Amino acid sequence: MSTPLLKVENLRVSFSLKSQGDMPWTKSRTLQAVGGVNFELKQGETLGIVGESGCGKSTLARALIRMVKATGRVVWMGDEELLGLSKSQMMKYRSEIQMVFQDPLASLNPRKTVGQIIAEPLRTHNPKLSNDEIIAQVKAMMKKVSLLPNQINRYPHEFSGGQCQRIGIARALIVKPKLIICDEPVSALDVSIQAQVINLLMELQEEMGLSLVFIAHDLSVVKHISNRVMVLYLGKVMEVADRDDLYDNPRHPYTQALISAVPIPDPKIERAKDIILLEGDLPSPLAPPTGCVFRTRCAKAQAICGEIAPELKVPEAKEGEGQATEPGSTHRVACHFE
């Protein structure tokens, strides 16, 4: 078995909070944004991460690159434990792990030209390069992401949202990373532009041998780009499986509800399908439900769900269905009744 590019074990992120207006002697409360996430990412693979707003997707992404403090283990290429490194020790890995952010315009410095923005990682990680070498690499990368090299001296406000996201992708790729973490990179874009950006990422992934962690709300987008999909709810993994296995055979009630809401292009099938509606709102992460965090919105919930948190495990075969999963499947589900 090949060594995974990234291995995450029991990753947890929590924040200490005080309500506005609390007195100095008031005890702070703990918000657990990510609660014990485990996964592996192979070289060249795309892991899609889905879930409602507030489920911890973006916090998880930021924890992987040390933008927020986390506990657990993040092992890079089977060798280096990233969470234990100092800021100076972490610098040599910054060029190997890059990030593309959700808001394309807000993630770019409005005072810098496109050329300066894309060149910044090169100047940081390859200070020995001459100015002419940097400009040549920047122009080559702009062509690679379908931007015109003669736009190198323009500013971000002169570009559309889709073009700004291409600038963000070029900035991430200029140092030839091994892993790109995409934090909802197309959610702020029109549907037609979304398709262009997704296809661009897939082309660049194949060309450069990239691995991707792709975070999104849109399950149809995640299905298109991902090899495996992980479903998060209140910072916990509810289900993880190969893409086709998850979409064809979702086992967790939360996953079933999410997939039932994905629109189908055929109007007759769309009208005839059963949509699973979740009752209530996402509970506050300041006071998550005991046991299974999804139990307050789950139609299957029983007494055991409030007492014991289910483990992420291989789903059992159901009567009349034969084998639950294919041999060697990575399908795991956190439910007492699967």
Domain ranges of the chain: 6-17+29-96+177-333
Supply the pLDDT for residue 326: 55
In tens, the pLDDT along 92-126 reads 899 999 999 988 888 899 999 999 999 999 999 99
In tens, the pLDDT along 260-298 reads 988 887 788 778 788 888 888 889 888 899 999 999 999
Contact in structure between 197 and 128 (CB atoms under 8 Å): no
Rounded to 5 degrees, φ, ψ at 230 are -120, 130
C-alpha 296, offset from chain centre: 25
Task: Give percent of the chain above pLDDT 70.
Answer: 94
Q: Which two tokens stand for residue 325?
A: 């999963």
Q: 258 in helix, strand or coil? A: helix
Q: Rounded to an integer, what distance in angstroms lies between the CA atom of residue 259 and that of residue 275?
A: 9
Contact in structure between 227 and 242 (CB atoms under 8 Å): yes
Contact in structure between 289 and 306 (CB atoms under 8 Å): yes
- Residue 125, CA atoms < 13 Å, CB-side half-sphere: 21
Write down the pTM of the prediction.
0.91
Q: Rounded to an integer, what distance in angstroms lies between the CA atom of residue 60 and that of residue 122?
A: 26
For 6-17+29-96+177-333, CATH gives: 3.40.50.300
Supply the pLDDT for residue 316: 80
Supply the pLDDT for residue 68: 93
Q: Which residues of the chain have pLDDT under 50?
A: 322-324
Amino acid type, 85 = L
